[in-house]
Structure 1
């Protein structure tokens, strides 16, 4: 027996809903997630990305040794990509009616990743790899939490997760090259 409900809400109802609470922008009555929780999670992800940018930038400038040039370029590329992630996350927070928290005070307590400088090139790579692995697990949990309640944020986080997985793979490759 087929369901007789229409696939879409009737046009008049959609139009009426679109006009109510118009200043909420992209957040319509169909938004199912807890906005405050999503903004909190995104601000933690934002802090994580900022800490990663700062750590990668330090590693870029501090890289030295026989393999330093190639590794430093990888650090710089990762720093730039992490900055893009931070910008995406901040923009989504604003779309959801929140405020991105760029306050340096408490940055490390909001971040899932740590800021560990590392003394040698190998230590730097390992610390960056640990941070990527932390981001991978925490972003996967955020994606699971969002489910179908906020598909836009979920897709954004899935894209960021894919890049974090690439970063981890790049860093494992660098470690393998260092062992040769």
Structure 2
């Protein structure tokens, strides 16, 4: 089924309406409030993961701690990059990124479980990655073709979360 393209004059006319909405044009078909909630929950998830990975980086002990610590630090950095991209998208959609520490843990899909041993730390990180993977897959399915930019953002993050899970599974296998 072929969608009819708008004329140049129609595009220009629509662009002048509601200019205060920035990137959110008349053709945006997703439920913006729901997308903003999902983005903020994902932002909270990423920030909680940054904190957990950072703790694990500093607390890793044992013979194999060096390899695990390097992975923890790399993942913390990448999760922070995900958080930045999510916050940027929230602003593009006219929302406000939620950074209030009191609500991060409540809004995060993943839990903050410290873990005492290296094996517990890696296990908790793997569990959190698996939660993010399922969560982001569901969000991608929910968004569908209603917001391609947000969908692509989640697809990019999902790809890296799958790599993180694979890294943690490999580490766990070696412990």
- So what's the TM-score if we normalise by structure 1? 0.95
Which of 13, 25, 42 is residue 39 of structure 2 equivalent to? 42
Which position in structure 1 is the counterpart of 2:118? 121
- For structure 1, the residue ranges without an aligned partner over 5 or more in a row are none
Deviations 1:3-51 (A, max 9, x none): 8x88421110000001111111111000000111100010000000000
Give distance in 2, aligned partners of 1:146 and 1:88. 17
Deviation at 1:107, TM superposition (A): 1.3
1:92 to 89, 92, 96: 89
Alignment of 1:29-178 (within 5 A): 29-178=26-175
Separation in 2, partners of 1:16, 1:171: 52
Give 1:175 deviation, angstroms: 1.1
User: Distance between the aligned counterparts of 2:138 and 2:166, measured in 1?
Assistant: 20
2: CA distance between counterparts of 1:123 and 1:8? Answer: 55
**2: CA distance, partners of 1:115 / 1:21:** 41
Q: Secondary structure at the match of 1:113?
A: coil
Q: Aligned residues, how many?
A: 175
**What SS is found at the alignment partner of 1:42?**
helix
| Inter-partner Cα distance in structure 2 for 1:147 and 1:56 | 31
- What's the Cα RMSD here? 1.2
Unaligned runs of at least 5 residues, structure 2: none
Structure (1 or 2) with the larger CA radius of gyration:
1
